Amino acid sequence: MWIELLTKVLIAGAVLTGILSFGGVLTWVERKQSALMQDRIGANRASILGFRLLGLFHIMTDGIKMFAKEEFIPRTDHRVLFLLAPFIAWLFSLAAFAVIPFSPELTVAGYQVTLQVANPEIGLLVAFAMMGMAIYGVVLGGWASNNNYALLGSMRATAQMISYEVALAAAAVGPLLIYRTLNMQEIVIRQGQLYNGWLPLWGIVLQPLAFLLFLVAGAAETKRVPFDLPEGESEIIGFNLEYSSMRFGAFMFTDFIEKILVACLTTTIFLGGWQVPWLADDGFRLGGALALELGPMVVWLLRLAAFGIKVCALIYVLMLVRWTLPRFRYDQLMSFGWKFLLPLAFLNIIVTAAVVLVLNL
Amino acid sequence: MAEQIFFYFFAALSIVSAFLAVTRKNPVVSVVWLISCMFSLAVIYVILSAFFLAAVQVIVYAGAILMLFVFVIMMLNLKTGMVGQLRNLGLKFVGLIAALLILRQFYSAIKGAGAMTGLPPRAAAGFGEAAAVGKLLYSQYIYPLELMAVLLLVAIVGALVLAGKEQS
Amino acid sequence: MIALQSLLTLSAVLFVIGVCGFITRRNVLIMFMSVELMLNAANLAMLAFARHNASMDPQVVAMFVMALAAAEVAVGLAIIVAVFRRRGTVNIDDLRNLKW
């Protein structure tokens, strides 16, 4: 029992460390990518002993800056809520990673090891529940700031995030009807089949519309451009107006964490999770004589890497979108969510359900 | 053992949160405590192996219903003066008496049920999972389910009519 | 081992807190929250019996209660918003005009 507990703690620690450092790297990637697209050089000033390393030290300096800045706390009746709010958002976004299956199971010395903290039957619902709870951080933060602009910003944020959460969940129903399970590991395993022996039957192949809807709703859920009205750093003031220092940093970092979360969920549901095309448990099977035998450890590592690559690719796509599109107007945002995304998601559910019923999948 | 520790911890947390939720002056603070109460109840649901219901509790109750409360309270933007007014001693007295009477009833009902009975040590496989709930919902309870769908639709239309833009 | 009785006691205590809040508070919003608390207490008892009797039916009923609560909150809060727009108050004592 103690060994199991210890492995769980170790896995949780590994996932946490991985996500947090990946989030840190993303802040740098984001800056470099924006610079690339706007024909600038981007962050490259920070250096240690003359080494600049493409500006990678900016991650560190940003962190130090965040911690070292003066923290201003406005006069408010709800100081505790004000202080707590960024960490509510932060904590619940991180908690959702508990159910993400980063890798398949591997038997090491008689123990089942998975890079997945918990594998409940209702895995996907847990992720959605945690995402829903993370909204409270934004809402309460804006409200406790005792500032009308922050309050308006947090109301925009609430309305947007609730609206798009509905669309997000509705978009996920289509693939779930096909997989017939909510268990995250099982969802990935169901995507391991091949159509006609060559086309991997991933969610994106079976449910292309749902994939697009999920990605768009996910981008809105993470408050990215073109859906960044809750924040609108420079033009329309957002819920984080009164926050400074590390608490502002926590809000900003939560955004990056949520972006990783949406990418992880999309990968799991639509891009086959840790599945590598044509890779079976004992090596590549390309049909006929083409085969490559691989040991279980190599296969496991390949699959873990596949998950990482898919997540990175998705985040890159989201980043391209962020620096390409202009921002929505608020009424456009709302009608886009409720009158376009949601009906399409419902249509997708109905059609998928009918097809599943008729073909008896 | 761990089950028991979790149960008693979250039971205590839910009672404390519920108490604070109904006594706080500011409705937003009340909602925050109510969220904490619902969340602890969700944990207790997990202990009762009602996994699907626990997820629904967090998504629907803590995530949606209480969010609606927060949203409406923010929209009304109540001033502190408008919220207070908890000075009615007679009413408090009535509340206390009512509470004691109901508690007395519950006590005799629970006590009258006989000796302490523990829950069965282990639930059957699949008990409380989404599949089990879904199968019942869509077979035995199909008519209530359809009625519930109609009710929700009526509620949406009703809410829009009541709180939508004022005519004229 | 958790006794059925302790679960029922928890449910009863939560219910009574809800009743107490409903009677003593004059803010419509908090009265409404007390109702939600009572519904939750009932749900808890339902799920305790589900586990005790190894029967899934109470869980389905609890599910219906949650759906009902969602519908109720949508309409109820809409009414509160409409009343607030007209009268500028959420204090139940100021909303007595229905009496005459």
**Pairwise CB contact (< 8 Å): B58 & A120:** no
Note the pLDDT of residue C100.
Answer: 45
Chain A neighbors of B43, CB-CB under 8 A? none
The rounded distance, in Å, linking the Cα atoms of A140 and A151 is 9
Which region among A196-210, A232-246, A314-328, B138-152 has the lowest average model confidence (pLDDT)? A232-246
- Kindly determine whether residue B64 and residue A132, on different chains, have CB atoms separated by under 8 Å: yes
Buried b or exposed e, range A150-177, using 16+ CB within 10 angstroms: bbbbbbbbbbbbbbbbbbbbbbbbbbbb
A314 pLDDT exceeds 70? yes
Q: Are residues A120 and B59, on separate chains, in Cβ contact within 8 Å?
A: no
Residue B125, chain A, CB below 8 Å: the answer is: no
Residues B30, C34 contacting (CB under 8 angstroms): no
Burial readout C19-52 (b: 16 or more C-beta within 10 A, e: otherwise): bbbbbbbbbbbbbbbbbbbbbbbbbbbbbbbbbb
Residue C27 lies in a domain: yes
Contacts of A121 in chain B (CB under 8 A): 51, 129-130
Confidence of residue A297 (pLDDT cuts 50, 70, 90): confident
Nearest residue on chain B to A80, judged by CA atoms? Answer: B29
Report pLDDT digits (tens) over A14-68: 999 999 999 989 988 988 888 989 999 888 887 788 777 788 888 888 888 888 9
Is residue B46 a contact partner of residue B8, using CB atoms and an 8 Å limit? Answer: no
Q: How far away is chain C from the Cα of B65, in angstroms, using its nearest Cα?
A: 6
State residue A288's pLDDT score: 65
Torsion on CA atoms A24, A29, A35, A41, rounded to nearest 10: 90
Q: Which fold does the domain B1-86 belong to in CATH?
A: Four Helix Bundle (Hemerythrin (Met), subunit A) (1.20.120)
pLDDT at A4: 80
Chains A & B: contacts with CB separation below 8 Å: 71
**Residues 105-164 in A contacting B (C-alpha not used; CB under 8 Å):** 120-122, 125-126, 128-129, 132-133, 135-136, 139-140, 143, 151, 154-155, 158-159, 162
Provide the phi-psi class of A146: left if phi over 0, else alpha when psi is between -120 and 50, else beta: left
Q: Do B82 and C89 touch (CB under 8 A)?
A: yes
Distance from C-alpha of A213 to C-alpha of B83, rounded to nearest angstrom = 42
Segment A286-296 shows an average pLDDT of 74
User: Domain total for chain C?
Assistant: 1
Taking an 8 Å cut-off on Cβ atoms, the answer to whether A136 and B35 are in contact is yes
In this complex, do B28 and A155 lie within 8 Å of one another by their Cβ atoms?
Answer: no
B2 touches chain A (CB under 8 A): no
Burial class of residue A304, CB neighbours in 10 A (0-12, 13-18, 19+): middle
Give the residue carrying structure tokens 């699959």: A303
Chain centroid, CA A133 distance in Å: 15
Our CA-based measurement puts residue B51 at a distance from the nearest CA of chain A, in whole angstroms, of: 7
CA distance C98 to chain B (A): 18
DSSP alpha helices (H): ranges in chain B?
A: 2-23, 27-47, 51-56, 66-76, 80-83, 89-112, 130-137, 142-163
Q: Please give, one letter per residue, the 3-state secondary structure of A331-358.
A: HHHHHHHHHHHHHHHHHHHHHHHHHHHH
pLDDT tens sequence for chain B (168 residues): 788 899 999 999 999 999 999 988 888 899 999 999 999 999 999 999 999 999 999 999 998 899 989 988 888 876 655 554 556 678 788 888 888 888 888 888 888 776 777 777 777 788 888 889 999 999 999 999 999 999 999 999 999 888 877 654
* Chain A residue with Cα closest to B75: A155
Domain that holds residue C40: 4-95
Q: Which of B19, B116, B151 sits opposite C3 (nearest CB)?
A: B116
Sequence length of chain A is 361
Selection from A145, A164, A170, A168 nearest residue A228 by Cα? A164
Say yes or no for a CB contact (<8 Å) between A125 and B55: yes
User: Is A182 in the B-facing interface, judged by CB distances under 8 Å?
Assistant: yes
A320 CA: distance to closest CA in chain B (Å)? 31
Q: Does C94 touch chain B (CB under 8 A)?
A: no
Sign of CA dihedral A120, A270, A192, A299: negative
Q: How far is B19 from chain C (nearest CA, A)?
A: 6
Residue A341: per-residue pLDDT: 93
Of A125, A136, A158, the CB nearest to B59: A125
Q: Burial level of A292, CB count in 10 A (0-12/13-18/19+)?
A: exposed
Q: Which residue from B38, B50, B94 is facing C47, i.e. has the nearest CB?
A: B50
Chain C positions in Cβ-Cβ contact with residue B30 (cut-off 8 Å): 29-30, 33
Which of A226-230, A253-257, A261-265, B160-164 is predicted least confidently?
A226-230
* Percentage above 70 pLDDT, chain A: 98
Question: What are the residues facing A285 on neighbouring strands?
Answer: A291
Q: Please name the helix (run of DSSP H) or strand (run of DSSP E) that holds residue A67, with its range, or none.
A: helix A58-68
- Report the gap between the CA of A262 and the closest CA in chain B (Å): 17
Torsion of CA B56, B62, B64, B66, to 10 degrees: 150
Confidence of residue A233 (pLDDT cuts 50, 70, 90): low
What is the reported pLDDT for C98?
Answer: 63
Q: What is the per-residue DSSP string for A194-209? A: EETTTEE--HHHH-HH
CB contacts of B55 in chain A (<8 Å) are: 122, 125-126, 128-129
Say if A77 is an interface residue toward chain B (CB within 8 Å).
yes
Is a pLDDT exceeding 70 seen at residue A10? yes
Tokens at C94, concatenated = 């100021």
Cα distance between residue A273 and residue A191, in whole Å: 8
Residue of chain A nearest B127, judged by CA positions: A121
- Tell whether B19 is within 8 A of chain A (Cβ): no
The alpha helices in A96-147, defined as continuous H runs, are 123-144
CATH number where C50 lies: 1.10.287.3510
Residue A212 has pLDDT above 90, yes or no: yes
B37–chain A Cβ distance below 8 A for any pair:
no
Name chain B contacts of C36, Cβ cutoff 8 Å: 34, 61, 65
- Chain A neighbors (3+ CB pairs < 8 Å): B
Of residues A184, A226, A188, the one with CA closest to residue A98: A184
Residue A272 pLDDT greater than 80, yes or no? yes
B52 contacts in A (CB within 8 Å)? 122, 125
Nearest CA in chain B to C3: B118
- Domain locations along chain B: 1-86
**Nearest beta carbon to residue B162 from set C17, C59, C82:** C82
Chains A and C touch (3+ CB pairs under 8 A): no
**Contact between B47 and C2 using a beta-carbon 8 Å cutoff:** yes
Q: Which residues, given as ranges, of chain C have pLDDT below 50?
A: 100
Picking from B7, B88, B152, the nearest residue to C71 by CB comes out as B152
